[in-house]
Amino acid sequence: MKTIISNPVLEPVTIGPIHLKNRFVMAPMTRSRSDDAGVPPAYAADYYAQRANAGLIITEATNISAQARGYPRTPGIWTDEQVSAWKAIVKEVHDKDGKIFLQLWHTGRMSHPDMHAGGALPVAPSAIKPAGQIRVHDGMKDFVVPRALETEEIEQIVEDYRHAAMNAKRAGFDGVEVHSANNYLLEQFIRDSTNQRTDQYGGSLQNRLRFPLEVVRTVVDVWGADRVGIRISPITTAPGDTPLDSQTMETFGTYLEALSDLRLLYVHDIEGVTQMSREETGGVSFTALRKRFKGTYIANNQYTLALATETLSRGDADLFSIGRPFIANPDLVDRLRNGSALAEAPKEYWYGGDATGYSDWPAIR
């Protein structure tokens, strides 16, 4: 018999109006299993329901519109067919007494003309090309110089977020997370390296925060602040780009204060560099940033049960999100609870494919 571990991280907790089984969150992970129309497959319901032992599931990043797409086979939430597929997924999670939020996504310049009708250019705050390459339908291709959005176009993107948020509610989700991290569109507006506009959406920090905050207010208008979270990545770089912001601590401290004033349910912070070191700080104090936000703080990046326990005891985080370990361990929280060994998924199963290496991982006996 395995020893059952007693640990406050594994105990139930309530955030806002939402009761969670434990303090572990399944982090959003792009898995590229949807079809070319952005419709998740039927077996995605199995995948998410199998992982309903997490306190909260945050879905893979989900495109708010056709324009938002950056990568092949990623899901959307702008059509009725997409909503119907997500509704079936949500039902399966709820049948397992799980909680699930949809992550709302616009990739901005992190895209390619191959992903858009007629070979249209990706859009961005400014016409600045990312370094490196991006995966499209037929392999890796160089990034292109994006098209800078006209001022009058920004209002339509805000409305796209409203439409997506309404569709997420139709699908039955428990809430939504606004993706404002990893150098996608909202973060592109925030950082002074990727936003060189001269209108009301560029220049000063107040102006650079204007569009992301308009998006958040719009989503809050649909859901209520206590059902909306946001993800940030203060020091994660884009491919080949470093640094991305000249005053990172001031930029994100001010952003978090504004988000706190909106009374969002939580901020989901990638501490360190995504998929890399959590030791890298880039001159940012994540402890200090956490204090700029009054709501729930979800800490992310290479958390283990031991690290989560230590962090919780210091009061430096409320919830802890974990990504890759959930791939091969659908019952991850149960395994942590009883000290079972964790399986590892080969990288070949991370992105693309079918149910193999996705929804067919066995639970512990």
**Greatest extent of the chain over all pairs of C-alpha atoms, in Å:** 65
Q: Which residues are catalytic?
A: 184
CA 183 to chain centre: 12
Long-range contacts of 300-308 (CB under 8 A, 24+ apart): 300/27, 300/268, 300/269, 300/270, 300/271, 301/270, 301/271, 301/272, 301/273, 301/274, 302/272, 302/278, 305/5, 305/7, 305/9, 305/10, 305/336, 308/9, 308/23, 308/24
Per DSSP (E only), the strands in the chain are: 13-15, 18-20, 24-26, 56-63, 100-105, 123-124, 133-136, 139-142, 147-148, 175-179, 228-232, 266-270, 296-300, 319-322
Cα–Cα separations (whole angstroms), residue 340 to 8, 50, 218, 332: 18, 17, 44, 9
Cα–Cα distance for residue pair 249/234, rounded to 1 Å? 8
DSSP code for 194: T
